[in-house]
Amino acid sequence: MEIVINDHYTSQGEEYVVTGFCKIKQYGPSDNVFWADGVEYLPISAAPDSYPFTCLSTEFIHKFLPVKLKVGDEVISFSMGRVKQTYFVESIDPDGTVNYINSTLKTKDTIDMNGQLTEISFTQATEYFYNSPNISNRLSNYVKVQELKVMFTEAVSKMDTLSLGGIYPSVLQGLVTEGQQYLSKLFNTYGNK
């Protein structure tokens, strides 16, 4: 992702604008001091004379998503728990329709706060996401949570069948529901970053 001054980015539901670049003092091994590239940014609602936030460029790329696609950006398709294909933005029409290299796929150029794109040329059961380390990590965590939910449901079902003989089905169903809600909460708290 190329970071551009005056472009808008989102992080955790908030929109920001990049105001400039800077150097940030860092400490390496044995307290060696070095200067790393940084980004200055402000919430879009900030007063014009506000002092900008700063973070390392590498952190910015990991934590922030652009609001709009640009030519050359990568988009991934996600279906049935797997990344299926990578697409490259070839051009963007004035109405915001994105055209991809060697593909008939069409999406809007707006990226939502979850990194997802709105598809125009519909295909079944496929979602499209802006490709970034953050999104790849999020999708990987999502798949792991879904697998844990299935394993948990199967384990409780087997326990009901083998050890209890179906005596307490409502109690076990309640445990399954609570367990799935807990796994979803864990994903939303830790895995969705």
CA-based radius of gyration for the chain: 22
Quote the mean pLDDT of the chain.
84
The DSSP code for 68 is: B
* Residue 87 structure tokens: 């697409």
Would you state the pLDDT for residue 160? 62
Q: Where are the alpha helices (DSSP H) in the chain?
A: 57-63, 133-159, 169-186
Q: Which amino acid is at 117?
A: L
Distances (CA, A) of 150 to 45, 114, 153, 157, 179: 43, 24, 5, 11, 11
Higher pLDDT, 105 or 146: 105
Bridge-partner residues for 42, per DSSP? 17
Q: Name the helix (H) or strand (E) containing 192.
A: none
pLDDT in tens, 81-102: 788 889 999 999 999 999 999 9
pTM: 0.72
Among candidates 76, 168, 72, which has minimal Cα distance to 115?
A: 76
Burial of 34 (0-12, 13-18, 19+ CB in 10 A): exposed
